[in-house]
A and B are shown apart, each in its own frame.
Chain A
Amino acid sequence: MILGVYDNPDKIYAATKKLINSGYSIEDVYSPFAIHGIDRLMGIKRSRLSVAAFLFAMTGLSLAVIFQVYVSKIDWPMIIGGKPNLHIPTYIPITFELSILFTAFGMVASFFIVNRMFWGKNADIIDPRVTDDLFVVAVNIKEHKTDVQALNQILIENGAIEVRERIKED
């Protein structure tokens, strides 16, 4: 990978645009904060986390309903306050809370799994300075195929303060 280091979000936006238009494959753009529009520019697809959230919520909802129906209707029917055994309005608070609980924990868990964040894993930061005030664009190169000279030229022309190579660890 070739890394271009920038000190300005507008410069890295312009550089990324130029690189994509010239047909380079971009690994990722690293920034301390969100740069509006750069996700569309890079053609990143929408996250499926919301679909996962919906499925987790439905899991929580059905488990809550099944548990309450089982307890209060099938296993141990009791009359409380003169209400029928199968009393749907009383299920609302627990069903609601369990849906939220499952969604919250499920989303956190899926986020960690998708991003391969586990206990004891070393942080693999492309360049420590992107956590502070610099921006890095990482361009994939193929040996003997990519014209590295031209790539460096584009990076520097768009205002890179530093260009270097990094061996990708897979």
Chain B
Amino acid sequence: MDRTKEQQLLQNKVNRRKDLKMEHAEVHIREEKYAITDGNKKWAFGLMIVGLILAAIGYFTYHPHMEGLGEHDLHHLVQKRLLSNLLVNGYFFFIVSICAAAFIAISQIANAGWYIAIRRIPEAMSEYSLVGGPILIIVSLIGLPVLYHWAHDGIMNPEAPNFDAILAGKSWYLNKPFFFIRMIAFMGFWIFAAHMFRQYSRKEDLAGGLENYKKTYALSAAFTVIFGFTFSMFSWDQMMSIDAHWYSTIFSIYNFATGWVSALSIVYLFTHYLRGKGYLNIANDEHQHDLGKFMFAFSVFWTYMWTSQFLLIWYANIPEEVAYYKERLFGSYQFLFYFVVLINFLVPFFFFMRRDWKRSKIAGYFVASLILLGHWLDVYLMVMPGSMNLATNPTEANPGGIIKVPFQGFGLMEIGFLCLFTGLFLFMTLKALTKANLYPTKHPYIMESALHDVGI
């Protein structure tokens, strides 16, 4: 190699290095708060208003027709669809906001440093639980006798015509007072812990020091253990008891994967959005990359759990267990059932396998939105096929006492409530972002996060 060529190569090397921003650059810790723009308000309130209008139109124009059903039952179906939609959205957005708090707790006890630059985003998301918790409690109060087979009048009374011996055997756990005691106790603790995480973190911005860090650490350790047990029971209560005859032991982990991956996707989207607006000066593609890896890994984890639940039930073929999948796999929900697996597994798996697409804004927006849609549909599929069924008195021909109701279509009510809750969630999160600096400026690991580098 002659000398000029060698020098040219070296020069290229130097130029390439200059293009890369990551060097041991000086880090400027800025104290800045997010300011809600008019566009944000337009979107959040626009979604809420449009959602409410669409849902109302959907509700008043929904006239179900089914062979062999009386006027009373058909009216019941309208109510069921309304409350089912409220339950789907209430549950989905609530577990997302609680999983955001769990993300803080788990990262805290793992002594993670990389996420500090984006920590205020899950903190802000967890603030939705202040509104989402009460909404879910109200939906459950109204919806319990309508949506849940086990909560119908007389079902556990041996004298009543619709007595169900299997459900009566579960009455020590599945009864209304205990249901609400559990629900309020669990939610109360989670909302309290999420509130304390935010408080400690915001206090730290003013005071500095290690005191708040240590308090968060202790609370995180307690939260993680308690959350593990209580979230399991919460998912049985809210989701699994809709199909009260059916049970699955892996159901709660599967639900956790749903909430966790959705929470990560929202954090990912907010990080891209805020960086695009010129905020979060210490967060960069490295943080985006790590969040993308998390999303990739937990999409695979979700598929693992999904397969574990499906495969065993499918293989064993026990009638009381396959009843759950029969409706979804062979009934009118078949398309949604396959569609959910497609967008929750194949899309993140093949798109986020590439390093540069985890960092890219376009690919990131695409994958994260599809993951969110997919997991919302997943919750929809947990609720709808079970909750829309009508209950009758059990007979010889129909010992379960259930009239199956096929898929009622994906109508204005579904879209409307999704818009309504999305708007509410966006508004609560953006409002929470304005309350404190966009990243914890005095956190002990802030420099580690600012210099975070996943290598080449």
- B453 partner, pick from A25, A37, A92, beta carbons under 8 A: A37
Bound CA span A90–B7, Å = 60
Identify which of residues 302-337 in chain B touch chain A, using a CB-to-CB cut-off of 8 Å.
307, 310-311, 314-315, 317
Interface size range of chain B in the complex:
20 to 34
The verdict on B28 contacting chain A, using a C-beta distance below 8 Å, is no
Bound CA span A21–B23, Å = 14
Residues of A within 8 A of B7 (CB): 23
Q: Is B16 touching A13 in the complex (CB atoms < 8 A)?
A: no
Q: Is B17 touching A40 in the complex (CB atoms < 8 A)?
A: yes
The verdict on B24 contacting chain A, using a C-beta distance below 8 Å, is yes
CB distance from B292 to the nearest CB of A (A): 14
Identify which of residues 106-148 in chain A touch chain B, using a CB-to-CB cut-off of 8 Å.
145
CB distance from A142 to the nearest CB of B (A): 9
The verdict on B277 contacting chain A, using a C-beta distance below 8 Å, is no
The verdict on B20 contacting chain A, using a C-beta distance below 8 Å, is yes
Q: Is A46 touching B456 in the complex (CB atoms < 8 A)?
A: yes
The verdict on B72 contacting chain A, using a C-beta distance below 8 Å, is no
Chain B residues touching A, majority SS: helix
Q: Is B353 touching A54 in the complex (CB atoms < 8 A)?
A: yes
- A21 partner, pick from B14, B24, B451, beta carbons under 8 A: B14
The verdict on A104 contacting chain B, using a C-beta distance below 8 Å, is no
CB distance from A51 to the nearest CB of B (A): 10
CB distance from A58 to the nearest CB of B (A): 12
Q: Mark B424-456, 1 if CB is under 8 A from A, else 0.
A: 000000000000000000000000000101011
Identify which of residues 1-25 in chain B touch chain A, using a CB-to-CB cut-off of 8 Å.
3, 6-7, 10-11, 13-14, 16-17, 20, 22-24
A20, A43, A82 — which one has the most chain B CB atoms within 10 A of its CB? A43
- B23 partner, pick from A41, A81, A90, A93, beta carbons under 8 A: A41
Residues of B within 8 A of A37 (CB): 22-24, 453
Residues of B within 8 A of A13 (CB): 24
Bound CA span A83–B314, Å = 10
Residues of B within 8 A of A43 (CB): 13, 16-17
Bound CA span A40–B18, Å = 10
Residues of B within 8 A of A93 (CB): 311
Q: Is A41 touching B17 in the complex (CB atoms < 8 A)?
A: yes
Shortest Cβ distance from B314 into A: residue: A89
Instruction: Give the A interface residue count (CB, 8 A).
Output: 25
Bound CA span A25–B12, Å = 12
Q: Mark A50-77, 1 if CB is under 8 A from B, else 0.
A: 1000100000000000000000000000
Q: Is A92 touching B20 in the complex (CB atoms < 8 A)?
A: no
Q: Mark A7-20, 1 if CB is under 8 A from B, else 0.
A: 00000010000001
Residues of B within 8 A of A83 (CB): 315
Asked whether A20 and B17 contact (CB < 8 A) given A37-B24, A90-B315, the answer is yes
The verdict on A168 contacting chain B, using a C-beta distance below 8 Å, is no
Asked whether A36 and B451 contact (CB < 8 A) given A20-B17, A43-B16, A44-B456, the answer is yes
Q: Mark B376-398, 1 if CB is under 8 A from A, else 0.
A: 00000000000000000000000
CB distance from A84 to the nearest CB of B (A): 12
Q: Is A20 touching B311 in the complex (CB atoms < 8 A)?
A: no
Q: Is B10 touching A40 in the complex (CB atoms < 8 A)?
A: no
Q: Is B13 touching A20 in the complex (CB atoms < 8 A)?
A: yes
- A36 partner, pick from B16, B307, B311, B453, beta carbons under 8 A: B453
Residues of A within 8 A of B17 (CB): 20, 40-41, 43
Q: Is B314 touching A39 in the complex (CB atoms < 8 A)?
A: no
Q: Is A81 touching B317 in the complex (CB atoms < 8 A)?
A: yes
Residues of A within 8 A of B16 (CB): 43
Bound CA span A92–B24, Å = 46
The verdict on A34 contacting chain B, using a C-beta distance below 8 Å, is yes
- A39 partner, pick from B310, B315, B456, beta carbons under 8 A: B456
- B315 partner, pick from A21, A34, A41, A89, beta carbons under 8 A: A89
CB distance from A94 to the nearest CB of B (A): 12
Q: Is B317 touching A92 in the complex (CB atoms < 8 A)?
A: no
Bound CA span A46–B317, Å = 48
Residues of B within 8 A of A145 (CB): 3
Asked whether A82 and B22 contact (CB < 8 A) given A37-B453, A145-B3, the answer is no
Asked whether A20 and B14 contact (CB < 8 A) given A39-B456, A41-B23, the answer is yes
Residues of A within 8 A of B20 (CB): 40
Known: A23-B14, A37-B22, A82-B317. 15 other contacts (CB 8 A): A13-B24, A20-B14, A20-B17, A23-B10, A36-B455, A37-B453, A41-B17, A43-B17, A45-B456, A50-B355, A54-B353, A81-B317, A90-B315, A92-B307, A145-B3
Closest 6 CB pairs of A and B: A43-B13, A36-B453, A46-B456, A23-B10, A39-B456, A40-B20
10 chain-A/chain-B pairs, Cβ below 8 angstroms: A23-B7, A23-B10, A23-B11, A40-B17, A43-B13, A44-B456, A54-B353, A89-B310, A90-B311, A145-B3
Interface residues, chain A, with chain B CB atoms under 8 Å away: 13, 20-21, 23, 25, 34, 36-37, 39-41, 43-46, 50, 54, 81-83, 89-90, 92-93, 145
